[in-house]
Amino acid sequence: MLAGLPRPVTQHVVEDRGRFVARVDLAWPEYRVAVEYDGVWHAQADQFHRDRQRLNRLVGQDWIVLHLTAQRLRDDLPAFTAEVRTALRTRGWRPTRRARGARGSCSFGETARTS
């Protein structure tokens, strides 16, 4: 468990009827929730344009996509983790009794950093 959350799938490929839609950094496919890590290269105009097209395709497939930056990873990870938790709960995830109090050795941030 990561910060009490279910373990995400890394580099998950999203498909629509067998056709490639996108590859997301972290995903909870059964809930259609994804996290994308946006590094500095995502600020470049061409990449920003491609990212928005990709986001539109994912939203069109009913995915909730949350974006994590280096600054949030460093300065605001607990709040971001709460946003992920809210998105998962919106999609039907319910923490188990054990997960509610879980303090695993691996944090959500460590998963985001290694993806």
User: pLDDT for 53-66, tens place per residue?
Assistant: 999 999 999 999 99
User: CA separation (Å) from 94 to 6, 11, 30, 98, 114?
Assistant: 10, 24, 13, 11, 26
> Which sign does the torsion angle of CA 110, 12, 101, 84 carry?
positive
pLDDT tens string 14-35: 999 999 999 999 999 999 999 9
- Whether the pLDDT of residue 36 is over 50: the answer is yes
- Whether the pLDDT of residue 109 is over 60: the answer is no
- The ranges assigned to domains in the chain are 9-114
**How far apart, in whole angstroms, are the C-alpha atoms of residue 57 and residue 29?**
15
Phi/psi for 101 (5° steps) reads: -110, 10
Domain 9-114 bears CATH identifier 3.40.960.10: yes
**How far apart, in whole angstroms, are the C-alpha atoms of residue 106 and residue 25?**
17
